[in-house]
Every structure is written in structure tokens, then in C-alpha cells.
């Protein structure tokens, strides 16, 4: 089976570059974030709102948690601050994990970071099979994975009995819009691959990151429609608890979106057609 090694390798180089930008101003003042024991990312606040109804006591406190595609660890640290236990973060980018470990050390947070492809997370964590009560991933994750069958099976293998998985991510419709506007630009259905060159990232330039540029500019993304997402999770033995669609997103996914600084979120302004910008799925291991 073609596992798109070349494309994944190109993406890895790109994300190592992005880690430098995001950790040095792109994600705000991380030293301040590390120093404030009550600070949580807006992304995790939105994720928690989706997940809460399916958690004991509506909280991750005391739950063993794995964060897939954790990047530089600010969201992972937020889950730890919410009381999650035996917290693990997994990412394929060594540079991202270096920054994640440094952030955890500054915050004096006991978080375990592991290098691995999210599709094969179970192989990267062989001693944790059936050991996680909660697995989460969100905000720009599965579009970077060529296929989801192994991803779903790894999630099922790592979840404890009655454990819950939550994904909140870019709506599949955005892939077809190519993040440009309301005109369909490319195929919607799973199996579609896109390729583009871009020397920037999705964060706002600041004095700290000094309009830094990505050196490895090639990006590959893959479409994943709802049929695929739900089917692979069910085939892995998980029960779908909820499917949601949401009108806010974590980044400027379309050019007309407006930013609410108080909530750190983007929305379609009044006067434009209102479409979902993100989706969520909650699934449980019976």
C-alpha cells in the first residue's frame, strides 16, 4: 500500500520550520503562558465544550489522556492543567516536540512526549495499549494524514474500555473551497490530494517572529469526508456518540472571516452565507 512517504517527509520538513515560527512569537508569549498556571488555549476550551457531556463529572480530571498531533504542546499543557493524568503528546515533528518539552519544563508540567505518525500511534506507544481514558486531536490535523484506517485502529487500540475519543477539526467543506472563498475549487470526497507551495504559516506576523518564512515550502493535504471519518472509527470498533458542525474556527480559514480577540476565534460575518467551519466527532470504545 502506498503510504505517501515522500509527501509525508515533505510535510515533516515544513512543520519543523513552522515550529520555529510558532514557538517564537507565532503562538503568542509562551513564557507568559507557561508562567500562568491557569492559562488555557482557546482551542482546548472549544474542544472541552464538545467533550464535556461524555466525561465523568464533565471533566478530564483524573483521566489518562493522549493528545495526537500535539505540535509545540500548548494545547497539551492546557489538558494537563485541566487535571488530566498520565498525559502524553504525540507528533511526527522532532522540532515541535523539542519546543513542547521546553514549554512543559517551564510550566513544571509532567507530560510525556513521543515522536510518531498519528496513523501509527499504537506502534509508537506499545506499552500504552488500552491505557488511555481520553484521546483528543483538533484544529488542523487529519488533512495532513494520507489515510485514516490505521489512524482509527490506533485510537481504538490505545483507548481503555469505555474510553472516549474526540476530534474537532476543519470542516471537510473547507477542503473543497481550498480556503479561498465560497466557490468550489477542488474535489470534496476522500482520496483527493492537494499540493501547494507557501513560505508562510497561518499565524499573524509579530515583532518576535519578525515575519519569519518557512524554508521547506511544499505542503500536501488530503481530503477526508464524513463518510470516511465515521466509517473508519466504526470499523475499528468505536461507537459514534455525537457528530457536530460549528460556525467558528481556530484560524482564518476563509478570507472574509472576522476575528474575535476576546474568544480567539474566527467567524463568517453577517451578510455572507453561513456554513460550518469546523466539525466534531465523539466516539467511545464499548
In DSSP notation, 10-46 reads: HHHHHHHHHHHHHHTBTTB-HHHHHH-TT---HHHHH
Q: Please list the residues that pair with 190 across neighbouring strands.
A: none
The residue length of the chain stands at: 286
The CA distance from 204 to 31, in Å, is: 18
The kind and range of the H/E element at 277 are: none
Closest to 79 measured CA to CA, from 25, 123, 134, 124: 134
Q: Quick check: 205 pLDDT over 50?
A: no
Q: What is the largest CA-CA distance in the chain?
A: 52
Cα 2 from Cα 150, distance rounded (Å): 13
Predicted pLDDT of residue 214: 83
Q: What phi and psi values does residue 193 have, to the nearest 5 degrees? A: -115, 140
Confidence of residue 72 (pLDDT cuts 50, 70, 90): very high
pLDDT digits (tens, 9 = 90+) for 93-142: 999 999 999 999 999 999 999 999 999 999 999 999 999 999 999 999 99
Radius of gyration of the chain (CA): 18
Q: Is pLDDT larger for residue 25 or for residue 175? A: 175
* Three cell numbers written together for 31: 513564557
pLDDT in tens, 162-202: 999 999 999 999 999 998 999 999 999 999 999 888 776 55
Going by C-beta distance under 8 Å and a sequence separation of 6 or more, which residues neighbour residue 47? Answer: 75, 136, 138, 166, 168
* Mean pLDDT rounded to a whole number for the chain: 94
Amino acid at each position: 500500500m502506498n503510504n505517501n512517504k515522500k509527501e509525508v517527509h515533505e510535510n515533516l520538513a515544513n512543520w519543523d520550520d513552522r515550529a520555529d515560527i510558532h514557538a517564537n512569537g507565532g503562538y503568542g508569549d509562551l513564557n507568559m503562558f507557561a508562567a500562568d498556571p491557569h492559562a488555557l488555549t482557546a482551542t482546548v476550551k472549544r474542544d472541552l465544550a464538545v467533550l464535556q457531556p461524555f466525561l465523568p463529572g464533565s471533566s478530564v480530571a483524573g483521566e489518562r489522556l493522549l493528545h495526537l498531533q500535539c505540535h509545540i504542546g500548548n494545547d497539551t499543557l492546557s489538558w494537563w492543567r485541566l487535571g488530566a493524568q498520565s498525559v502524553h503528546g504525540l507528533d511526527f515533528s522532532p522540532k515541535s516536540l523539542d519546543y513542547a518539552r521546553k514549554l512543559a519544563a517551564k510550566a513544571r508540567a509532567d507530560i510525556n512526549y513521543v515522536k510518531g505518525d498519528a496513523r501509527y500511534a499504537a506502534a509508537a506507544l506499545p506499552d500504552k495499549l488500552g491505557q488511555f481514558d481520553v484521546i483528543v486531536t483538533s484544529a488542523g490535523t487529519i488533512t495532513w494524514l494520507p489515510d485514516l484506517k490505521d489512524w482509527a485502529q490506533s485510537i481504538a487500540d490505545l483507548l481503555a474500555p469505555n474510553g472516549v475519543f474526540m476530534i474537532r477539526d476543519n470542516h471537510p467543506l473547507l477542503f473543497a473551497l481550498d480556503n479561498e472563498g465560497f466557490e468550489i475549487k477542488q474535489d470534496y470526497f476522500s482520496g483527493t490530494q492537494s499540493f501547494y507551495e507557501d513560505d508562510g504559516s497561518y499565524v499573524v506576523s509579530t515583532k518576535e517572529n519578525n515575519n519569519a518564512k518557512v524554508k521547506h515550502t511544499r505542503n500536501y493535504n488530503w481530503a477526508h469526508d464524513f463518510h470516511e471519518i465515521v466509517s473508519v472509527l466504526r470499523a475499528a470498533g468505536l461507537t459514534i456518540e455525537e457528530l457536530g458542525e460549528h460556525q467558528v474556527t481556530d484560524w482564518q480559514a476563509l478570507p472574509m472571516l472576522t476575528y474575535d480577540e476576546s474568544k480567539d476565534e474566527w467567524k463568517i460575518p453577517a451578510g455572507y452565507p453561513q456554513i460550518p467551519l469546523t466539525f466534531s466527532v465523539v466516539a467511545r470504545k464499548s
